[in-house]
Amino acid sequence: MTHLEVRDLSPEFGAEIIGFDPKAPLDDATRDELRHLFDTRRLLLFRNMDLSHEEQARICTMLIRKGEAETIEAMGSRESFISNKLDDGVAPFGRLQFHGDTMWADNPYQVLSLYGADVGNPVAPTTFVDAVSAWKTLPDDLRRRAEGHEVLQTAGAVRRGDMSSVLLTEVENPPSTVTRINYTHPRTGETVLHICEQMTKNVLGMPEAESEELLTSLFKHLYRADRQLEHNWRKGDFVVFDNIALQHSRGRVTKEGPARTLRKVASPMPRLRPDQMPRWKAEAA
């Protein structure tokens, strides 16, 4: 068994793992330890990695107990980069508010990972918060007001709070889904405070002002500065995280700034009906 050194990144979540070699055969005990760390720490950081797309995808699926033999073809994972330099780079500029990727889908990604393929200095960090510990620590009065209510999660642009330099992607036919605010995590069974500033439009069956007031109070708790974990990128960093338990945001990126190219792999792909496929329009800051 490989000896892994584990360093917690914050009291609630996140761990840096030292001593893992993604190119070596994975024995059962090491695999079980990594799965346990992923379930309990929700974000794992590996530094100084030399990781292919295939290796990145294999770690993602292994952590959520999908067949280890699953290939990137079977995952439907095209190699894709968040980048301010590549011609086909995703989210090439601007700031991103807190979100979970595909939170607007009926079966959102369970795991998301970013690998620092080309990283200059300084570049904008990615910041994480933990929506499981946020639910656990919610004050009783807020929990009573929120529990059982449903919200609309949409891929359409939601505008709230400070929108300066936020990258807004216009979607012609935004897909959406309805979920409970107290959402049951599909793998761990834990309760997640399942709302985000970027994609949660409103609380169903509540007057608009009351809905926004409740969401704002919940966001204040969820995004409290002392719950945020900032990741400052270096080339070769590999961050893999639970996309349902955690949310992420990022600071402002510019096309002129130092290179910031992160390979993104998610699993499993949500199954969308053809009429749910978003048609992205222009991106505007």
Ligand X SMILES: O=C(O)CCC(=O)C(=O)O
- Binding residues (CB under 6 A) for ligand X: these are 82, 90-91, 96, 101, 126, 248, 250, 262, 264
Q: How far is the CB of 187 from ligand X (least distance, A)?
A: 20
Query: Is residue 270 within the footprint of Fe ion (CB under 5 A)?
Result: no
Strand-pairing partners, residue 265, are 113
E strand residue ranges, 51-199: 80-83, 94-99, 111-119, 126-130, 150-154, 168-171, 176-180, 182-184, 191-193
Nearer to ligand X, 79 or 213 (CB): 79
Q: How far apart are CA 126 and CA 136, in angstroms?
A: 24
59 binds, among ligand X, Fe ion, none (CB under 5 to 8 A by kind): none
In this structure, are residues 200 and 152 in contact, taking their beta carbons and an 8 Å threshold? Answer: yes
Q: Residue 212: exposed, middle, or buried by beta-carbon count in 10 A (0-12, 13-18, 19+)? A: middle
Q: How far is the CB of 233 from ligand X (least distance, A)?
A: 8
Measured at the CA of 51, the angle between CA 268 and CA 251, to 5 degrees, comes to 70
263 binds, among ligand X, Fe ion, none (CB under 5 to 8 A by kind): none
> How large is the greatest C-alpha to C-alpha distance in the chain, in angstroms?
57
90 binds, among ligand X, Fe ion, none (CB under 5 to 8 A by kind): ligand X
Q: How far is the CB of 241 from ligand X (least distance, A)?
A: 11
Q: DSSP 3-state assignment of 179?
A: strand
Q: How far is the CB of 129 from ligand X (least distance, A)?
A: 13
Query: Is residue 167 within the footprint of Fe ion (CB under 5 A)?
Result: no
Q: How far is the CB of 102 from Fe ion (least distance, A)?
A: 9
69-128 residues in contact with Fe ion (CB under 5 A) are 101
Interface contacts to Fe ion, rule CB under 5 A: 101
